[in-house]
Structure 1
Amino acid sequence: MTHSVPTFSTQWQPKGRSSSSEPILAAIDIGTNSVHMVVVKIQPTLPAFTIVAREKETVRLGDRDPKTGHLKPEVMAASIAALGRFQEIALLSNAAEIVAVATSATREAPNGRDFLQQIQDKLGLEVSLISGQEEARRIYLGILSGMEFNNQPHIAIDIGGGSTELILGDSYEPRSLSSTKVGAVRLTSKFVSTDPISSKDFQYLRAYIRGKLERPVEDLQAYLHPGEEPRLVGTSGTIQCLAKIHAAQTTGTIPNSLQGYELSRDNLHEILKKLRKLTYEERIQVPGVSERRGEILVAGALILQEAMELLDIESISICERSLREGLIVDWMPDRGLVEERLFYQSSVRRLSTLQIAQKYQVNLQYAQRVAQFALTLFDRTQGQLHHWQDSERQLLWTAALLHNCGLFVSHSAHHKHSYYLIHNSELLGYTETEVESIANLARYHRKSLPKKKHEPYNNLPKLQQQIVEELSALLRLAVALDRRQIGAIEQLQCQYIPHLKELHLTLFPSIPDDPCELELWSLDYKKEAFETQFGATVVAKVSR
């Protein structure tokens, strides 16, 4: 399926010191639990953005005066100090502009607007107070910038300190947006009086959460079409913390990226069953749990468990992008950088891959030729030599486009450098396992074949190992077809002859008299992996 990319303009000129070709923007979210900032470099030619810095400070604005509901003076002072520090970081990053919003705690506090005026007076920073619905809309935009929905229904849940947002969408405008006053800080402050939490407090808290979530869940489900089975996407510190706990328990390590990490309802139930029996001091000893998160984690985990039960969904997939990234997406059309806020869903994976290719100075014309050859080989052998589908085809495309990115480090062993660069890059739209598969595919485009003694390959699940083995064999042939990196082959015809067990490749040169001897030699040199893997002989000729 092809997607058009919306048009964009580069007429906007930044107000700060950043380059007009790649403006830098900072986005700040003043939440109930924490103040967050993300600094991004915008690449108008794609158009897309790359995250260059993240900052967070836990300030607990939600810890308000229990009698008046006012934000406490000391908490406001701590928040303003954090914002001042963020401003300095944004300045050092050459940010042209800072976009800032405040959410649940500030909008509910009687002195919330006074707090925002203090920020304006002391820092010169203008902060917008947004509604729960508007918060949910921008969370949706942030998620769409980092995860492909493929036009299928997804429910997104964001568990904050003061509220929980539920969103239903399918790549287009959101079908349902809701914000409910159940948050990890709010509920801990209101209902948790024992440590560890008593059975009475736990059951009361559970009943309260369920009562609050039943209506928004029913409203959301009313927008589902008959037969639809939506996936659940989770974003927020609470959900990421639970994923870290699970990863540490099951693998012994916490992954660098949680993007696409899957956590089942059963996993969550087991984690919560253990957490509720622990004291605060014991909780913060659990791998993946920070000191401030440990205070509110039981309430946050219970919100997620009740939401999953009400939605009757068995697993949740983590997305690391949320409100702050949504502020960036929302800002870009207003500056003429893109025409459509939802353009990321035309191809999150494509944009992200091109960003990384640009970052590591990949020869894009050459890489695109290799990618096209790889896809032609994939398509012409599908159903005969392999049975991989579109998801694996996309892995091959990305690996083909990035296979030579290791040249950015060094020509020597550049296939190994490609692995490490891809492994440590922010490849959006892919799960951690898929990113690892792409990195391995790039690593095996030359030199040795996949081996059990190679730790990155050996750590892959069995199915992913098979993907790497078979698709890297196709990638090797594709690389051979542009051996001189000059586009010597204009067109490739590919046909598998089952009774002969032969793959016939007919090469049509760009220059009619070119014998393409180097390409034929390279094919002969690289075909061993393919022939061994598929049990088929490669027969190549140049068409005159």
Structure 2
Amino acid sequence: MTDIAPLPTANPIPHRSLDPAQGDRIVAAIDVGTNSIHMVVVRIDPTLPAFYIIAKEKDTVRLGERCPDTGDLTAAAMDRALSALQRCQARAQSLKVEEIVAVATSAVREAPNGLDFIRTVKQELGLSIDLIAGAEEARRIYLGVLSGMELHQQPHIIIDIGGGSTELILGSGQEPRSLSSTKVGAVRLTTEFVTTDPISDGEFQYLRAFLRGMLERPVEELRNRLQPEEVPKLVGTSGTIEILAMIHAHQHLGTIPDPLHGYAFSRSDLQAMVQQLRRMTYGERLEMPEMSDRRAEIIVAGALILLEAMTLLGTDSITICERALREGVIVDWMLTHGLIEDRLRFQSSIRYRSVLRAATKFHVNLPYGERVAAFALSLFDQLQGQLHEWGAVERELLWAAAILHNAGHYVTHSAHHKHSYYLVRHGGLLGYTETELEVIANLARYHRKSGPKKKHENYRNLAGKRHRRMVDQLSPLLRLAVALDRQQIGAIAQVTCVYDGSDRRLALHLEPTDPGNSCDLELWSLGEKKEEFERTYGVKILPCLQTPSRSPNPPVS
């Protein structure tokens, strides 16, 4: 369970301003799930801002099919997924999308060869897939729901039942109060616990007991976030819950609403459906309306997950929302590209708040971290276009690494840069993909001691050449930023970069906070730290101290 820290009063990483003159933009989002691969293609009107779904694709590939001995994704499952992704890519390109944003969830997260699968997709299709953690998956599901449903500032619990995991979210339309992801999914449970058809009483009761045990803790933690007088409404997303809504509508209305969005059914009706489904054979379930062969295999486990969750939560009914992770990926893309400034504005600072929460958790000296971050961003901005070509996304990753670079002191002072890597990588930062977390952690790792080396496992864990080059070029900036506050008292007020490309010299004009301070430690530290920067960029650094009147002392070679 991950709870969200209070919204800060300012965000030092501003997003691009909205341009009303900008035309519509077409973007695709792909959700590589345990059971299915889904894609939505949307047209974004940046003047509202809003988006409209113009195409959908779905392929049930059962990627979560894994080798029982090794836990690896099977070759057959990966082939099915690759073919589905190729079809999605072709469809998206035919609609002239600006970008395809793809994310992978529990099946790829947990498989030992999950990263190999992502690399294969990149090599064969040129398509990048971001691996996201469970809490981040829950956050984006929440964004997707908010894009299609008004919560009216009332508490709502959102449940998303996937093939490998179930996400529970508590929110009221602003920042989520809690996010959780539990390893109970319809495919996972069917594979591990169901061997009979129809399911035997013994397997059914064991599955029910297992589910209750797995869901009790996240449900209890969620309920602890509710005020005593609050009675939350339950919202359901995902294919499993939509199929149950279709079964209910067909039995009670004689027809299936289109769209299903907003359709509701009760827990008592769900109880009856579970009893009905558990007594049916696979062939009988397959004859039900809208039931695919793959869904017929896993619907009993999926329905039982929902029933146990509703029982533990004490909710009497559930309402369908047809927007979920895929749409949340679109909203997150809009936030990243500065296309949302009012509704959902709180989410634009999710990364900022998550980093500050981690800083508090690991007892980081925050004023010091913020000074280092300010120096790092100043160097980044001044040298952009001269020594590097990185943009806003990389700038934000550098900021996060600068704030948390000393987190390793929480473990021990000795080799704390290595501990910083571990804490940042596994600290549960929200708003970042697994690839981005790996970059931030590596940047923090290389703020001191030796630079990046191929023999370092953490460096090899980076997604590819581009991300290794990112760490190679941005970690020296962080090293200089750390040197500029060597005493951790803010002795340097600002740094001005003057680059002479003709002889590859970079002068750093340092303005002391106190004109009488010689800043000897900072100058010494720059001398120690500059080697990695000089080697990476092929320049000679010349630090020099100057007073606010801009009369520089001679450069220190």
Shorter-chain TM-score above 0.5: yes
Question: Which residue of 2 is the match for residue 150 of structure 1?
Answer: 152
Q: Which amino acid counterpart does residue 257 of structure 1 have in structure 2? A: P
TM-aligned CA distance change 1:58 to 1:341, over 3 Å:
farther
1:299 aligns with 2:301: yes
Q: Distance in 2 between matches of 1:231 and 1:52?
A: 30
TM-aligned CA distance change 1:112 to 1:247, over 3 Å:
same
Contact 2:63-2:77 at 8 Å conserved across structures: yes
Q: Distance in 1 between matches of 2:86 and 2:346?
A: 32
Q: Distance in 1 between matches of 2:341 and 2:333?
A: 11
Question: Which residue of 2 is the match for residue 257 of structure 1?
Answer: 259
Question: Which residue of 2 is the match for residue 63 of structure 1?
Answer: 65
Q: Distance in 2 between matches of 1:131 and 1:141?
A: 15
Q: Which amino acid counterpart does residue 182 of structure 1 have in structure 2? A: V
TM-aligned CA distance change 1:137 to 1:9, over 3 Å:
same
Question: Which residue of 1 is the match for residue 132 of structure 2?
Answer: 130
Question: Which residue of 1 is the match for residue 217 of structure 2?
Answer: 215
1:101 pairs with 100, 103, 106, which one? Answer: 103
Q: Distance in 2 between matches of 1:313 and 1:336?
A: 37
Q: Distance in 1 between matches of 2:31 and 2:343?
A: 19
Contact 2:27-2:97 at 8 Å conserved across structures: yes
TM-aligned CA distance change 1:134 to 1:341, over 3 Å:
farther
Question: Which residue of 2 is the match for residue 110 of structure 1?
Answer: 112
Q: Show CA shifts across 1:360-406 (max 9, x none).
A: xxxxxxxxxxxxxxxxxxxxxxxxxxxxxxxxxxxxxxxxxxxxxxx
Q: Distance in 1 between matches of 2:239 and 2:219?
A: 22
Aligned runs of 1:409-448 on 2, under 5 Å? none
1:189 aligns with 2:198: no
Identity, % of aligned pairs? 62
Q: Which amino acid counterpart does residue 291 of structure 2 have in structure 1? A: V
CA RMSD in angstroms comes to 1.9
Q: Which amino acid counterpart does residue 129 of structure 1 have in structure 2? A: L
Contact 1:63-1:72 at 8 Å conserved across structures: yes
Question: Which residue of 2 is the match for residue 41 of structure 1?
Answer: 43
Aligned runs of 1:250-329 on 2, under 5 Å? 250-329=252-331
Q: Which amino acid counterpart does residue 25 of structure 1 have in structure 2? A: V
SS at match of 1:246: helix
Q: Distance in 2 between matches of 1:135 and 1:122?
A: 26
Contact 1:141-1:341 at 8 Å conserved across structures: no
Contact 1:8-1:44 at 8 Å conserved across structures: no
Q: Which amino acid counterpart does residue 207 of structure 2 have in structure 1? A: L
What is the Cα deviation at residue 288 of structure 1? 3.0
Q: Show CA shifts across 1:429-473 (max 9, x none).
A: xxxxxxxxxxxxxxxxxxxxxxxxxxxxxxxxxxxxxxxxxxxxx
Q: Distance in 1 between matches of 2:112 and 2:62?
A: 16
Q: Distance in 2 between matches of 1:330 and 1:54?
A: 19
TM-aligned CA distance change 1:247 to 1:344, over 3 Å:
farther
Contact 1:244-1:288 at 8 Å conserved across structures: yes
SS at match of 1:46: coil
Q: Which amino acid counterpart does residue 235 of structure 2 have in structure 1? A: V
TM-aligned CA distance change 1:344 to 1:298, over 3 Å:
farther
Contact 1:330-1:341 at 8 Å conserved across structures: no
Question: Which residue of 2 is the match for residue 475 of structure 1?
Answer: none
Contact 1:12-1:337 at 8 Å conserved across structures: no
Contact 2:264-2:320 at 8 Å conserved across structures: yes
Normalised by the length of structure 1, the TM-score is 0.60
Contact 1:333-1:341 at 8 Å conserved across structures: no
Q: Distance in 2 between matches of 1:216 and 1:285?
A: 35
Q: Distance in 2 between matches of 1:59 and 1:164?
A: 19
What is the Cα deviation at residue 340 of structure 1? 5.3
Q: Distance in 2 between matches of 1:334 and 1:70?
A: 33
Question: Which residue of 2 is the match for residue 539 of structure 1?
Answer: none
2:91 pairs with 89, 92, 95, which one? Answer: 89
Q: Show CA shifts across 1:108-165 (max 9, x none).
A: 0000000000000001111110000000000000000000100000000000000000
Q: Show CA shifts across 1:210-234 (max 9, x none).
A: 0000000000001001200000000
Q: Which amino acid counterpart does residue 139 of structure 1 have in structure 2? A: I
Q: Distance in 2 between matches of 1:144 and 1:338?
A: 13
1:334 aligns with 2:336: yes
SS at match of 2:71: coil
Q: Distance in 1 between matches of 2:224 and 2:346?
A: 27
Q: Distance in 2 between matches of 1:43 and 1:219?
A: 38
What is the Cα deviation at residue 62 of structure 1? 1.1
1:236 pairs with 218, 235, 238, which one? Answer: 238
Q: Show CA shifts across 1:324-356 (max 9, x none).
A: 0000111112212123571599xxxxxxxxxxx
Question: Which residue of 2 is the match for residue 177 of structure 1?
Answer: 179
Q: Distance in 1 between matches of 2:16 and 2:156?
A: 28
Question: Which residue of 2 is the match for residue 481 of structure 1?
Answer: none
Q: Which amino acid counterpart does residue 31 of structure 2 have in structure 1? A: D
Contact 1:58-1:292 at 8 Å conserved across structures: yes
What is the Cα deviation at residue 187 of structure 1? 0.1
Q: Distance in 2 between matches of 1:284 and 1:189?
A: 18
Contact 1:196-1:279 at 8 Å conserved across structures: yes
**Across the two proteins, how many residue pairs are aligned to each other?**
334
2:81 pairs with 79, 82, 96, which one? Answer: 79
Contact 1:284-1:290 at 8 Å conserved across structures: yes
Q: Which amino acid counterpart does residue 49 of structure 2 have in structure 1? A: P
Contact 1:168-1:175 at 8 Å conserved across structures: yes
SS at match of 1:53: strand
Contact 2:277-2:300 at 8 Å conserved across structures: yes
Contact 2:16-2:337 at 8 Å conserved across structures: no
Any stretches of 5+ residues in structure 2 without a counterpart? Answer: 1-14, 348-557
